[in-house]
Structure formats: structure tokens, C-alpha cells
Amino acid sequence: MDGNPLKVTILYPCLNEEAAIADCVDAALAALRDADLHGEVLVVDNASTDASPRIAADHGARVVTEHHRGYGNAYLRGLREARGEYVIMLDADGTYPVELTGEFVRLLEQGAEFVLGNRFGGLMQADAMPFLNRYVGNPILSGMTRLLFAVSYQDMHCGMRGLRRDSIPKLALQSGGMEFATEMVVKALDADLATVEIPIPYRPRVGDSKLERVRDAWRHVEYMIAFSPGLFLLVPGLCLATLGYIIELALISGPTRILFRTFDVHANVLGMGMAIVGTTLFGLGVVSTHYAGSMGMRFRHSALSRWLYRVGDRPLRVASLGMLGAGLLTWATVVGSWVSSDFGVLSAVPPLTLGTALMASGVELMAVAFLVNIIGRARAILD
């Protein structure tokens, strides 16, 4: 590093943007000059098949080539290559106000660690965003992120963001596609980065959009589901299993009158099924939690996941052995009394459904503990 370190990197991911890239680079250099900032314009060319990389270099950008296609892959490369103390990220399509670079840097200098633009703050040009993106895709996906991850920001997919370069390792970013945008916001929150969201203008695009609406929207949804094991697996699994075991225990001594009618062995069979399926969902949730944790998620939004991730596989093994033992004991008691009655008539569906549910749950939790252990070992190697 020379004696005069770079203050800012303006980072453009670029896939076939020859119609826009020249103006983008010129405007970025002008923004640096106007704000009197020592900086660089870095273009990560995503193996464009047009003249964008040559044009970008001719206009004074540093150009690096990333052969792995994808919005996230381009940014992952760019964030590794950036040399500035602060990094300002934005699309290479003329939509974002690069002239606000000075303002983003000012906020970062004042202590913000992550500055997120908000195109829905009233400054967007009327024809800047296609109707479906503006009124359907963006609000639904941003709303889902707010709900699932307890985030309060309005525009989760805004392409103009600023952050300190030394915050980047804290985020452990991994996503190669458009879901990178969601990952960054969720992980910034997890990492407790001091975040501010500021309204920014948004202009119509120059050149064709690279967005594949359905595929890219689905990638955001998949990301959110995979990283929300609490809501989608742990809680439903726990509720179902608890209800199943309550039914089993309530009907343990045979047909029982509850409120207005009598429930008998059919309900025991249902309870057994619920207990086993519930444990399966819960177990998958535990595995997902450990997977997400190993991918850098810290579950600021879910106390249950946070706890499960922290305690590891030991409580699972204890619960597994307890359930397996209780199930075996139940079966042994029934078979024992059957044998001692000289193999007489056997009528013991209630305890046997309970015993079977307990044994099945025990075996499942044993397998889950095993997987959790494997994930932990893989993480230890990666770390």
C-alpha cells in the first residue's frame, strides 16, 4: 500500500452493459473529484460478451474479470478486490445516483457501518422500475424479509449500498446469485453493523435488464426459507410433536371421553403419526439451523435457533437416549405382561402407539445428532 491509501472504491458489477458503462465510469470519477475523495472505480466484468470491459478500462476504471456468472459472484469478487477504506456498490446501468457517493462516505465517516439506499423513499422516477417489480415483486420480497428476519428496512434489493471494507469479513457472504442482496442485509443485521437507510433517486435503465424475474425472485425466497428454520420447521415440528404426545398421554388408558365424545384407538394412531412427523420436522429444522449457522447466520431474529446452534449435539443425544429408553421400556412392559398372561388376548394399542412414537423419535434424534456433529466437524475444518 502506498503512503496515500485509497479512501473509496466505487464498485460496479457488469454483465454486457456497453450502452451504460462509459457514463457510469465517467460519473463515478466525477463524483470522486467533486467530493474531493481519493478513490478508484472498480468494474467487475462478469465475462461480458460485448465491449463493456474495454470501454470501462478506456474510461479509467480498473477492470477485473469474474468468470463465474451471477450478480453475487461478481460482487464477491469485487469486495475481495476493492482497495478503498469504504466501498460503494451500485449497478452499472445508470439507474443509481453515483453522485451521492460523497453523501454515503460522509455517513460512513460519521460512524455508520452499512448505508443502504432506499428507492421507495419518494425520489424514484415514475418510469424507472417496471410495474411488476415496483408494486408486486419488491414489496412482497422485502415484506417477507422484514417479517422473517425482523428487519425494519424498506428496500431490501436496493443496488446502491456503502460499507466499510473492514466490515466485509464479518458478513461471511456466500451467495452467487441475486439473493446476494438479501443475504447482505440479513447478515449485516446479524453482525450488528450500525445501519442507516437513506432515500435515493432511481432512474430508468440504459440497456437491457439482466434480471430474470421469476428465477431471481425465487432465489430470494429459497434463501429466506433455507435460513428461517425456526418458522418453517422447528416451530411447526415442535407444535405437531407436542400435540401428538399430548393425545398419546391423554388416551393412554384406553377409550377416553374428552368434552363431548369418546376417543379410542384410532386417535392413538393419529397421535403416534403426529408425534413422529413432528419430530421429523423438528429434526430437519435442527439440521437446517446448524447448516445456516455454519454459513455465517447468527439468528439474531430467532432465540430458539440461536440456542440450538449454541448447545450443539449433546442435548439431542440425551433426549434421543431418553426417548429410546422410554419407548423400549413401554414395549417391554406390554410384552412382559402378555408373556406372563400365557400369551392371552393382547389389547394394548394405546401404550404401544406411545412406545412406538417414542422409539421412532429417539432414533430420529440420534440421526439428527449425528448430522449436527458432521456439520460441526466440516465447519471446524473450514474455519
Positions touching ligand GDP (CB under 6 A) are: 13-15, 17, 46, 69-71, 74, 91-93, 159, 209-211
Contact 334, 351 (CB under 8 A): yes
> What is the total count of residues that contact Mg ion (CB under 5 A)?
3
Cβ of residue 131: shortest distance to ligand GDP, in angstroms?
13
94 versus 285: smaller Cβ distance to Mg ion: 94
14 interface partner picked from ligand GDP, Mg ion, none, CB below 5 to 8 A per type: ligand GDP
Cell numbers 472498480 label which residue?
42
Decide: helix, strand or coil at residue 62: strand
- Nearer to Mg ion (CB atom), residue 45 or residue 91: 91
Contact 316, 368 (CB under 8 A): yes
CA quadruple 334, 340, 342, 345: dihedral sign: negative
Nearer to ligand GDP, 10 or 276 (CB): 10
Cβ-contact 357, 365 below 8 angstroms: no
Out of Mg ion, ligand GDP, none, which partner does residue 43 contact, by CB within 5 to 8 A per kind?
Answer: none
CA distances, 355 to each of 131, 269, 272, 315, 331 (Å): 57, 12, 9, 21, 6
Closer of 130 and 236 to ligand GDP (Cβ): 130
Least Å distance, CB 44 to ligand GDP, is 7
Closest to ligand GDP by CB, 13 vs 271, is 13
93 binds Mg ion (CB under 5 A): yes
Name which of 120, 121, 199, 109 is nearest 163 in CA terms.
109
Closest separation in Å from C-beta 133 to ligand GDP: 7
Distance CA 287, CA 308 (A): 10
**Among Mg ion, ligand GDP, none, residue 65 binds (CB under 5-8 Å by kind):** none
**Minimum Å distance from CB 328 to ligand GDP?**
55
**Rounded least distance, CB 188 to Mg ion, Å:** 20
CB closer to ligand GDP, 69 vs 314: 69
Sheet holding 62-65, edge to edge: 62-65, 39-45, 8-14, 86-89, 161-164, 114-118, 195-199
CB of 121 to ligand GDP, least distance (A): 17
Query: What number of other Cβ atoms are within 10 A of residue 128's Cβ?
Result: 16
Q: 129: which residues sit within 8 A by CB, 6+ positions away?
A: 119, 138, 202
Residue 69 corresponds to which cell in the numbers above?
456468472
Q: Which of 45, 91, 155, 313 binds Mg ion (CB under 5 A)?
A: 91
74 binds, among ligand GDP, Mg ion, none (CB under 5 to 8 A by kind): ligand GDP
Q: Which residues bind Mg ion (CB under 5 A)?
A: 91, 93, 95
